[in-house]
Chain A
């Protein structure tokens, strides 16, 4: 058993559309080990959700993919269909945001959790499946009897827990969580995050956790990758990236959620002006230049590569280390 669960190598995903090619992911490399939570941060359109779905080859057919994604050493992009089916759910599973829309409203939640188990282990006795469903619900902090409930009878937080139980149903090694707490309020969010980090610690699974909220990632993750315009612009230990960001974009994300009690944040919400770039018309230089508070003339010459700094931290910005 290798420790390396997920290895993404120089992955690029381009959507072919009628209005031109949209390079949603541009040369991303990232790894997730067993027992590790890696966060991916960025705003809408930065490519983080495309990255998540491409890991399980769930990207739309119009997408052109290059590079490699290896889960447990096997290349997902070249895998045979049968192997891919086994991989989805049993090797790796996804928790999407918006549990209300992802659960089937006319089936009891226990049934929905049982479905992937029955598909992947058709020889399992019915009683055994029921017991597994009960165990899974308890693992995520719901009473086993909740298996009989319909989605509308559960609150938002409970539904999100059901989604997590479902993702764990086939004992995957890797869990991909795409904004699983975004629609929840703070108390429920922290309950769900507790469940997730408990599972990673207990079961030794690895997790790729996607969110636009850097403060949530800083609390939960071991490492954080910050994405902008389809590329990783900063990568490092979670605390470091949040408290001492190198890239100006990471700094803006970090400042977006104030530290309560910080007098400097009173009546001074920190925002980032402008909009993310149109991916069809990317400039030659760093795509963050038009919004960057630290930009200099040189920034528009060439897109900076991800360079390594102290303590294994990485950032793609020529201004790092400059006054």
Chain B
């Protein structure tokens, strides 16, 4: 892999080329966030193509990063917490680009960009890009299990974002205080329909991810299995309650946020225990 070296009196600093792609990608998301914040501060929010383009460009750089890292590792680049966060951010951006325009949730970009920025910013700043000697050889089932689960997390992230939008819209309607952004948020009914669809999609992908985990042939830590099934049960319960109309939409929206927070905590735990066990 190419490495860039700076020569001089100072000690040689090498930065992997793919990291520049990640920095460029993070910058694109930062631009989208700053643009949104400026518009909100002026009291005018108009979802324009700018956000979508910035996110699209950021997504291209993310993809370039993951591709180069994958080539280097010879496997799906989800071998440490750093890569897992970037892969999750990539999944969120991917799902947004697929779902946002389809459900006419153009404003979702304004909410997606900060989440991706947070994930990638943390990945870049925190010292979590540690290379472990990977003792387990590349296993297609394991990679399928991990990547499918991460894409499912991406879908849950979008459901969480739609939940935030729902609560924001609901709050404005309840308090009779309508901000400029109110006129650009989708109707409550449409948002709730989007949340429901995203939950179903995420749940289906996560189920596939969990089931495929049993075919990896590697003994996984019991705590990982229990936590993953607990998360699966949480989403199953939300969907069941939604299906039986036991929960008001506002509570479903709030549970989407709680569910994704739990998913992030679980992801951290899984990656932490995997690193302890030197699993890919």
Please say whether chains A and B are actual partners in one complex. Answer: no
